[in-house]
Structure 1
């Protein structure tokens, strides 16, 4: 269950969806108590254009990003993509036979892509590696990232989504009894 949910959630932060497709995904996630009805309702009132603009702004780097979705922005002193933490994460992925080659020159530590890697580790029954990915490579920065996204998103849907996904991730950490590593974060 976590495997498929992680893939779907990752896609919400990485892939550009049409509004009707998003509604179907969100309704399914709401039925599983992953997202709230408030999140679904916030999506339903959005225009296609508003969703496209917000997605570009929040996840692709159109203009000044209020909450960059890359781990290295939060984990590296210089707050850059492709920083030391990205190199470290890339080595972790390689050691577990995971390649996140999207055909674009982009860091693998993007929030949605990291959830894809987590689901791939689960699919390959590498639970220990999947837990390590969450404990060390994702959750130390993802919770503050989602909090920032919920406050700074220019779209009420993405604000609500960030709140719900933070709750989901905290629940996973509790259910799996994860020990989230306390890493130094560089936040504004």
Structure 2
């Protein structure tokens, strides 16, 4: 592959990351909507020609195929599963906040939360409801990566692949997301009642590892 082709391929991936992180942000921020389910369904429908997919895409592709083939999938049941897994009111099987995974007592608003907050602030961001919803909510961390992905894509030109924001992204992946998301996903795999969040989590974890390897 020529150098120009390598550069163009890398730039295209930097663009793709924007939509990928926003998808995972939407998947975990609130209970699933018809729009989210339809978006997942379209993954299979838009791949009718059998195009090659990345390893991290396979779980989403499988989920998409399942949703298209099963007319009995009920949105209310998926919303109930979101509540059961991530909200409660009983003991939460898969807490969706990073700080819980760094505390034996499963505490929120710990030093880890403040650390994440400072990282956001250093990039010029602030959580609007920071004293109500901890800054280290998975969806917020996805949105932060989405924001950084936008900055990287705008920084990179055909002549220059370097972007200072890449280092911030890679650091956040290694010091935060890849430290707790594996356990979070394991909890979803263990306690999930359907394949919906199991497949999304499997895809998420594989993508984070893939993305960390891709960032240079």
TM category (shorter chain) comes to: 0.7 to 0.9
Q: Is it true that 1:165 corresponds to 2:204 in the alignment? A: yes
Contact 2:166 2:215 in 1 (8 A): no
Name the counterpart of 1:122. 149
- CA drift of 1:73 comes to 0.5
Which residue pairs with 1:38 in the alignment? 62
Q: Distance in 1 between matches of 2:93 and 2:66?
A: 20
Mapped partners of 2:63, 2:89: distance in 1: 24
Write out per-residue CA displacement over residues 61-106 of structure 1, whole angstroms, 9 at most, x where no aligned residue.
3332111111101113432111111111111111211112248711
* Cα deviation, residue 28, structure 1: 4.5
Structure 1 consecutive aligned stretches of length 4 or more whose deviation exceeds 3 Å: 27-33, 41-45
How far is 1:42 from its partner?
4.4
CA distance in 2, matches of 1:131, 1:119: 13
Contact in 1 for aligned 2:100/2:106 (Cα 8 Å): yes
Which runs of 5 or more structure 2 residues have no equivalent in the other structure? 1-15, 48-52, 153-164
Q: Are the structure 2 counterparts of residues 42 and 50 from structure 1 closer, same or farther at C-alpha, using a change threshold of 3 Å?
A: farther
Identify unmatched segments of 5+ residues in structure 1: 178-188
Who wins on radius of gyration, i.e. which is larger? 2
**TM-score normalised by L of structure 1:** 0.82
Once the two structures are superposed, the pairs formed by residues 8-87 of structure 1 within 5 Å of their partners are 8-18=23-33, 20-29=34-43, 33=54, 34=57, 35-43=59-67, 44=70, 45-87=72-114
CA distance in 2, matches of 1:58, 1:138: 19
8 Å contact from structure 2 (residues 86, 95) kept in 1 = yes
Cα distance change, pair 114–12 in 1 and its aligned pair in 2 (3 A): same
After TM superposition, the structure 1 stretch with the greater mean CA deviation from structure 2, 119-128 or 98-107, is 98-107
1:113 to 136, 140, 150: 140
Partners of 1:100 and 1:117 within 8 A in 2: no
Paired positions, count: 176
**Map 1:138-177 → 2, pairs under 5 A:** 138-176=177-215
Are 1:4 and 2:19 an aligned pair?
yes
In 2, Cα distance between equivalents of 1:99 and 1:73: 21
Kept in 2: contact 1:73–1:79 (CA 8 A): yes
Task: Note the alpha carbon deviations across 1:140-188, whole angstroms, 9 max, x for none.
Answer: 11122112212211232112221222222222122226xxxxxxxxxxx
